[in-house]
Structures are given as structure tokens and as C-alpha cells.
Amino acid sequence: MLQCNCSILGDSDAGEAIVVDPGDDVARILAVLQKHKLRLSQIIITHAHIDHVGAASALRRATGAPIFLNQKDLALLSMMDWQAEFLGVPTPEIEAPDADAAKGLIVAAGNWRGEVLETPGHSQGSICLYFAPKSLLLAGDTLFAGGIGRTDLPGGDSGQIMRSIEGTLMQLPDSTIVVPGHGPETTIGEEREFNPFLVS
């Protein structure tokens, strides 16, 4: 419903994949994995909003893959009833994650190797994933094409999200491709030049 971008990063030679932000639609995710003969090694959640984490437990049950979520978002995860009510949707089945997606954690599947960047502000435990060799950033709801994540929900902090974007994301090379949690992809250079929240 909220059009969250779910990313499936797979290496068909190694037969392994990572899924980032399975918000819903487990059957569709499983079909992609099956089509490319990929075994799921990790489920990474960029932050504990319902549209990013809603299908994580079901996907874990189907594949056995562990769920990684930054521990500073555990409080938000425990508010799933409130989040569902806020949106007027049923509460998804949510269980505790298996591991902390803390700063510097390396996520990997075959030739995909990325690093967790802690970028609080949209929520306290918001992270981005940076795949330096592929010049790719999965930005969750921290940075969008022409926008930034909202900070008016519980755990949001507008000063903090700007510090995360300017202090961490804008330190990446201009050529870095950014896949946000919602909407079209962009690049760090494009946002540096044109994002109204960053241009002063």
C-alpha cells in the first residue's frame, strides 16, 4: 500500500541473495529467489516501520534466513499495533530480529558486500547499506530523490536526519547510485546539487 521498495541482491554464481526491506508480498519475493535459484542468506531491515518490516518474519519462516535490524529501532518494532492502527491495516506477524544491524556490520551474499551506515533521524535505528564496489547505496527512508524522510513520527528528529545526511551520506562519491525506500533512484551527486533540503 505504501509502495515500499524491496531490494533483492543476488549472485547467481554463488547462488546466494540478500533481501532488504520485505514490507509485504512474501510470495513475490520467494518467486524471484526461486526463479534465479538463490538461497536467501540475510534479511536486512533499514528501519522498523511497518511498510519495511511487515513480511520479515514470514520470509524468515519460509527461508530460515536471519533478520538484521538496528537495536535502536526495537522500541519502534514493539509499536507495530500502533503503526498498523495508524495506517488502518491489520497488524503483521512480527518477531524479534536475530541480530543487530549495527554500524560497520558487513552484509554479504556472493559478490555483494556492503556495510551498514547508521543514519538516525527518520527513526532512531535507521540505517543505510553501502556497497562500495558497486557504487550503490540503499538509503531506506533517510534520503529520497528530491526529498528526505519524514521526522514527525515517533523516534523522528529533524536535526538528526540532516546530520546523518550531511555527515555520512554526502561523504560518499557523487557517482553513488541511491535506491531509496520509496520512489525512483537517484545519485549522491544529483541530490547534492538539486535536493531542496540540501541546497542552501
Q: Which residues bind Zn ion (CB under 5 A)?
A: 49, 141
Residue of closest CB approach to Zn ion: 49
- Rank residues 33 and 165 by Cβ distance to Zn ion and give the closer one: 165
Determine the longest span between alpha carbons in the chain, in angstroms: 48
At closest approach, how far in Å is the CB of 155 from Zn ion? 10
- Among 11, 18, 14, 21, CA closest to 179: 21
Give CA–CA dist 192/102, Å, rounded: 26
What's the first-to-final CA gap in the chain, in angstroms? 34
- Rank residues 141 and 191 by Cβ distance to Zn ion and give the closer one: 141
Burial 20-29 (b: 16+ CB within 10 A, else e): bbbbbebeeb
At closest approach, how far in Å is the CB of 172 from Zn ion? 21
Give CA–CA dist 32/10, Å, rounded: 10
- Rank residues 10 and 121 by Cβ distance to Zn ion and give the closer one: 121
At closest approach, how far in Å is the CB of 153 from Zn ion? 7
At closest approach, how far in Å is the CB of 160 from Zn ion? 14
- Rank residues 118 and 141 by Cβ distance to Zn ion and give the closer one: 141
